[in-house]
Amino acid sequence: MSELKYWLGFSKIYAIGSVQLRRLLESCGSIEHCWYASASDMLKVEGVTPKAVEKFQNEKKSIKSLEKLEEYVLKNDIRVMKWEDEDYPEILRQIYDPPMTLFIKGDLEKTNHKKSLAVVGSRKASHYIKDVLRKIIRDLKGTDITIISGMARGVDTYAHQAAIEADLPTIAVMGSGFDHIYPAQNKELFRKITETHGAVVTESYPDTQPRPFLFPRRNRIISGLSRGTLVAEAGLNSGALITANLTINQGRELMCIPGNVTNPNTEGIHKLIKEGAAVVTTAQDILNHLDWGNISPNKNVELKLLDNEKKIYEILDLEPTSFDELINRTKMSADELMGTLTSMELSGIITQMPGQNFVKNINK
């Protein structure tokens, strides 16, 4: 008889963590015996406290039917990978507290656990970091590297999108169950990843709602699936610093993209660099730090700009430049300038920011 339903039952219980469950499994011999273990047997396991046993018994009572838990995941075509399975990712098995169950949507076999890079950072990512990150990931095109992140707003979303644009496989690690895609605006990103570009995984049963304590737990899986972590913009209180510390504790490579020193959202980055994190400004830096070889020669075609477009492009930077400043520096008429800017924006060469400010796109 399948023991899957017992694994699913434990996935809905937080009183017994992954470390305690692994020890309990070693003591009891099977997940079914763990489920029906007596309080006295549970208390013999290191790290299991009387309070945890009491909470476990109460949480267990709230589960009406293990069979229905199993029926739901099978009906919704959700793959469940258990810690004891042979195809459980070995890189994740190596961390101190690997998740005992992984719920998977998509094709995890498309991803490469030997060359996996986590990318994390601020939810309030600047245009600068979005542009730099996309260029770095774009330059990894043609490699067999997998990009891993948490599908959150900001840097996470940009990292997944850039991987898709570069035709690289990507893994999104959720802090909730599949019934509650968070944030909701990433439902389309979820669809793209699961249908064609990799997999979305979570240790939470499908009906689990996003709750604050689940996201730090999620971070250990992001870093645990990765050979190295790249932090792209983060304040001192950013959740990305949790992932950075986990990366160090797991013995993996920590890298950072430096930012503007006057931006409070980069204070965490520069703190990590001062403490020894490697500095990354190009895709080749990542390959060097992880000993993954060299990038193929750049095949990007040099931009062919008209005279007015070239004049504007040389003035623009990654920080916004106002329309009025462009008039003063280019000596163009307002109509001529606006027409040229519109053409450049449609070509993807520049981006218009709020307040008639413009920045260049270094992806081109």
pLDDT score for 301: 43
Provide the CATH number for the domain around residue 333: 1.10.10.10
Please count the other Cβ atoms lying within 10 Å of the Cβ belonging to residue 261: 9
| CA 76 from centroid of its chain's CA atoms | 24
Rounded to whole angstroms, the Cα distance separating 249 from 103 reads: 25
Rounded to whole angstroms, the Cα distance separating 86 from 179 reads: 27
Rounded to whole angstroms, the Cα distance separating 33 from 27 reads: 9
Rounded to whole angstroms, the Cα distance separating 220 from 245 reads: 9
Whether residue 111 is contained in a domain is answered as yes
Whether residue 286 is contained in a domain is answered as yes
Specify whether 153 is located in the same domain as 16. Answer: no
Q: Which residues contact 166 (CB under 8 A, 6 or more apart)?
A: 137, 138, 140, 141
Specify whether 148 is located in the same domain as 244. Answer: yes
The range of the structural domain enclosing residue 342 comes to 307-360
Rounded to whole angstroms, the Cα distance separating 269 from 92 reads: 25
pLDDT score for 302: 55
Specify whether 220 is located in the same domain as 349. Answer: no
Task: Please report, in tens digits, the pLDDT of each residue of the chain (364 residues total).
Answer: 589 999 999 999 999 999 999 999 999 999 999 999 999 999 999 999 999 999 999 999 999 999 999 999 999 999 999 999 999 999 999 999 999 999 999 999 999 999 999 999 999 888 888 888 988 999 999 999 999 999 999 999 999 999 999 999 999 999 999 999 999 999 999 999 999 999 999 999 999 999 999 999 999 999 999 999 999 999 998 889 999 999 999 999 999 999 888 888 899 999 999 999 999 999 999 999 999 988 765 444 456 788 888 999 999 987 889 999 999 999 999 988 998 998 888 777 888 888 899 998 865 5
Whether residue 96 is contained in a domain is answered as no
Report whether 286 contacts 230 (CB < 8 A): yes
Which of 290, 317, 344 marks a domain boundary?
290
Provide the CATH number for the domain around residue 223: 3.40.50.450
Whether residue 123 is contained in a domain is answered as yes
Q: Which residues contact 161 (CB under 8 A, 6 or more apart)?
A: 134, 189
- Output the pTM of the full model: 0.83
Specify whether 286 is located in the same domain as 318. Answer: no
| CA 144 from centroid of its chain's CA atoms | 18
Number of domains in the chain: 3
Specify whether 113 is located in the same domain as 153. Answer: yes
Report whether 259 contacts 128 (CB < 8 A): yes
Supply angle C-alpha 42, 44, 46, rounded to 5. 95
Specify whether 194 is located in the same domain as 319. Answer: no
Rounded to whole angstroms, the Cα distance separating 55 from 151 reads: 31
Specify whether 179 is located in the same domain as 279. Answer: yes
Q: Outline where 89-170 has alpha helix (H).
A: 90-93, 127-138, 155-165
List the structure tokens of 218.
């999620």
Which phi and psi (to 5°) does residue 286 adopt?
-65, -50
Specify whether 159 is located in the same domain as 219. Answer: yes
Specify whether 280 is located in the same domain as 189. Answer: yes
Specify whether 133 is located in the same domain as 235. Answer: yes
Specify whether 279 is located in the same domain as 317. Answer: no
Comparing CA positions, the residue from 185, 219, 199 lying closest to residue 77 is 199
Whether residue 348 is contained in a domain is answered as yes
List the structure tokens of 236.
């001192």
Specify whether 272 is located in the same domain as 171. Answer: yes
Report whether 207 contacts 76 (CB < 8 A): no
Rounded to whole angstroms, the Cα distance separating 119 from 227 reads: 11
Whether residue 69 is contained in a domain is answered as yes
Rounded to whole angstroms, the Cα distance separating 266 from 261 reads: 7
Report whether 350 contacts 316 (CB < 8 A): yes
Provide the CATH number for the domain around residue 56: 1.10.150
Whether residue 100 is contained in a domain is answered as no
Supply angle C-alpha 142, 273, 316, rounded to 5. 65
